[in-house]
């Protein structure tokens, strides 16, 4: 269980009774994915998190609200465990929110998730997974630790990994796993989002790219009106290209994704100096 700690790192085992059941109203586009990015400015460098405020409006909405309040400015990453996760936030200084679990949003490498002390007890503390920690998912019995995922790192993941490797007090320290030198979030800010489908040239803007189904299981059907063949890449949440060198012809195309793990991906179609992207979910 990723326990909620106080700012000094003292573990809190008391369940929070007050639960916020109302979802936060977030301005979003018509895409089936979130439209908000948050940039972390830290003493170890900067990174950007893409928030799933459409799929997880309560959890992501709570985080966005705190960011807009400048709540995280000057807050530490107070718990760091290499090859596991980095954790930030404060203790029980805000009302708890209702857990929000979405099939397909899993605690995989690069995702941001809520820390808590049990069901419906998350407040301000979060952690970022340094590796796949799917045992922390809500549907992984007999685990009693259920941590809602609400976004993933899209830029600067090496900075997150650097934070994960700082010297700490270790598991037996007091407080445990606290960096010996403070790693500070100087500020966290919401940034202007990219559109759900993006292009990098005027010529590419004339190209339409449609993907079905989305979420997908083992195969993707990709349709384009482009007159020239595009080369397809699939990119995971850490920025790794997991599928490439498939040509996309005008009309319908089938892409085998049966060997890929569940999660969020970006499908990118490239031609010369032009490209167009779509975000997809693989869910089984």
pLDDT tens digit string along 212-240? 787 788 888 887 766 666 778 888 866 77
What confidence category does residue 140 fall into, taking pLDDT thresholds of 50, 70 and 90?
confident
Which residue has tokens 């598991």? Answer: 171
pLDDT, average across residues 103-121: 89
Averaged pLDDT score across all residues of the chain = 78
CATH class of 19-191: mainly beta
Sequence ranges of the domains in the chain: 19-191, 204-282
| Amino acid 272: pLDDT | 65
The better pLDDT of the pair 102, 27 is held by 102
CATH class of 204-282: mainly beta
In 3-state terms, what secondary structure has residue 142? coil
Do the domains at 19-191 and 204-282 have one common CATH topology? no
State pTM to two decimals.
Answer: 0.61
Token representation of residue 207: 């190209």
Q: What is the DSSP string of 211-266?
A: EESSSBSSEEEEEE--SS-EEEEEE-TTS-EEEEEEEE-SEEEEEE-TTSPSEEEE
Terminal Cα distance for the chain, rounded: 25
pLDDT, average across residues 58-73: 92
- Residues annotated as catalytic are 79, 84, 87, 116, 127, 136, 147
| Amino acid 261: pLDDT | 87
pLDDT, average across residues 15-26: 31
| Amino acid 238: pLDDT | 67
């Amino acid at each position: 269980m990723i326990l909620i700690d106080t700012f000094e790192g003292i573990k809190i085992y008391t369940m929070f009774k007050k639960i916020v059941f109302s979802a936060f109203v977030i301005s979003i586009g018509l895409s089936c994915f979130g439209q908000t990015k948050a940039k972390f400015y830290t003493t170890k460098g900067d990174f950007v998190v893409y928030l799933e405020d459409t799929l997880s409006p309560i959890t992501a909405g709570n985080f966005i609200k705190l960011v807009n309040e400048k709540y995280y400015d000057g807050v530490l990453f107070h718990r760091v465990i290499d090859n596991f996760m980095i954790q930030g936030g404060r203790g029980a200084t805000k009302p708890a929110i209702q857990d929000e679990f979405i099939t397909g949003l899993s605690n995989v490498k690069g995702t941001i998730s809520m820390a808590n002390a049990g069901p419906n007890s998350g407040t301000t503390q979060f952690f970022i997974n340094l590796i796949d920690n799917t045992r922390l998912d809500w549907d992984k019995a007999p685990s009693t630790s259920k941590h809602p995922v609400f976004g993933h790192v899209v830029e600067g993941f090496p900075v997150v990994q650097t934070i994960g490797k700082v010297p700490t007090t270790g598991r037996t320290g007091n407080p445990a796993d606290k960096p010996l030198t403070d790693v500070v979030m100087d500020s966290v800010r919401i940034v202007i989002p990219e559109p759900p489908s993006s292009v990098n040239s005027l010529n590419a803007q004339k190209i339409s790219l449609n993907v079905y189904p989305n979420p997908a299981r083992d195969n993707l059907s990709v349709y384009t009106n482009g007159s020239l063949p595009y080369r397809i890449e699939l990119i995971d949440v850490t920025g790794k290209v997991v599928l490439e060198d498939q040509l996309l012809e005008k009309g319908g195309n089938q892409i085998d994704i049966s060997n890929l793990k569940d999660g969020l991906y970006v499908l990118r179609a490239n031609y010369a100096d032009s490209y167009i992207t779509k975000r997809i979910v693989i869910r089984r």
